A and B are shown apart, each in its own frame.
Chain A
């Protein structure tokens, strides 16, 4: 699992991100578990090089991307109003409680309460597609 943790770190470095929350930099994240957890996201979100969105925006390369930048996707007013990029910390906070982190988001997802789940999912999101 060491390489997977390094891959996440590498992705964050490539994205030009600063210090990351300690648990996100952990070397022991389980990318296979993350891939299975992504099934929940994949109900709405494509994640591929086409960049085409579905019921949710395409998540290809989401870590380091500008928030609400998927071409043509009708984001909520709340999401459109967010500045900056998706850092691992922000994604972690968002995925823990989406409607608390961005009140007014229209994403119909209650959140992943388990920190280990979020860590594994972020690990998967940082991996190559």
Chain B
């Protein structure tokens, strides 16, 4: 960078009147930024904080991408921040591990360049992307009335693409702004009906109808009958109303080194204190802030608390005073994400393929994710754990054999996000009614308690991108809350 001359003028320079609070905030933040640039970071605790180590400006509950983003942004503004993470690792519903000589992501994996928040982070920290092998698949596999069909990607697209565009047809009218999902205000019954209802009403031939059921199933990570049609439509808006651009954002690019490569850099850039293996039991608010009590009984004070846990886990923390009934009931109702994801290492090789099955198959989608010299890693998704025991290698092998009948599976791995008490599900899509009825309330701070997470983002909700969007937004809210 050659100085600031390319930057737009600061709002102050445009002669706009600043209200009193805003002016005070800018002064406070300016002081913090100056202090943070000093050699000793410990000297950067802003005025008003307890300098005796007895309290924090903010406690962030949950060390996934949302929590890490919020903690990083707040700590870089000079606030004293503590992250409490229940698991022994950071990452939340992303988890990079080693398998078959790859940095394998068992949870959230793919990002795309229509995802502004995560794409910006990965460029800022210099984390490269690699592409899924299936992007260059030589074979497409799909099902027609129970019969396995193989062909080229172009032949598959001839059947699937017009059906998907039919399904997504209302997206431009009802979601004209992808990052303001409620901008339109009037949605007819689109948030009251399920994706399955919408698909049934399209009157398509069975082969196309079944492909759409399966597509809705992988996107909602549950049967198409579970997810709101309106919430499904949002994805098309986020994909710039272009089917293959949407696909590129769902399954094309992985982070080199896995999602861990990015979250580790974000955490390293943060000045927040991190405590792993520290579940939270209770958040009690007072006039000046909140007391967070860990499961082991430790009490910690902060001026603000950021609750960055999965929606499905929100109701497991006790709040005094109680948080709103809408938040609690949506947490207990759970979002739709409850399916399976499994990787299998093959002996020998098959054509690099992209398989689109039916939602009743053990795996509704399967493809070649890594094409190694002597073997391949296949990736598959299923609508429900009831359809596949992901820990049974034989069941996993036969699930992939529905796509590649002669495949030999040597080992398979998965992670049971649905039974992990700190996720209780996979990624978020909403059931009918939640988007129009509850999203705004799910995002609403209550006193000194703020809510963040992929599950309540405005844009790519349920994605890494949405987690970062939400964490950054809440960091702004908290900055205003405690700086003024």
Contacts and interface: CB of A to CB of B under 8 A. Distances in A.
Interface of A: 36-37, 39-40, 42-44, 53-56, 73-74, 77, 99, 106, 108-114, 117
B interface, size bucket: 20 to 34
A111 B391 contact: yes
A44 B97 contact: yes
Nearest to A114: B392
A106 B86 CA distance: 9
B89 A54 contact: yes
Given A43-B413, A74-B276, A117 B392 contact: yes
Contacts of A53: 88
Contact of A110 (B394, B410, B416): B416
A59 B417 CA distance: 22
Contact of A106 (B87, B393, B394): B87
Contacts of B141: none
A42 B99 CA distance: 8
10 contacts: A37-B393, A39-B412, A40-B412, A40-B414, A42-B97, A43-B413, A73-B277, A74-B278, A109-B391, A110-B419
Contacts, number: 71
Interface of B: 86-89, 95, 97-99, 106, 276-278, 295-296, 385, 389-394, 410-417, 419-423
A16 B416 CA distance: 34
A113 B106 contact: no
**Interface SS, B side:** loop
A56 B296 CA distance: 19
B102 to A, nearest CB: 12
A113 to B, nearest CB: 6
Given A74-B88, A106-B87, A99 B97 contact: no
A54 B90 CA distance: 11
A106 B87 CA distance: 8
A110 B296 CA distance: 26
Given A43-B95, A55-B88, 12 more contacts: A36-B393, A37-B393, A40-B391, A40-B414, A56-B88, A73-B277, A108-B415, A109-B391, A109-B416, A111-B391, A112-B392, A113-B389
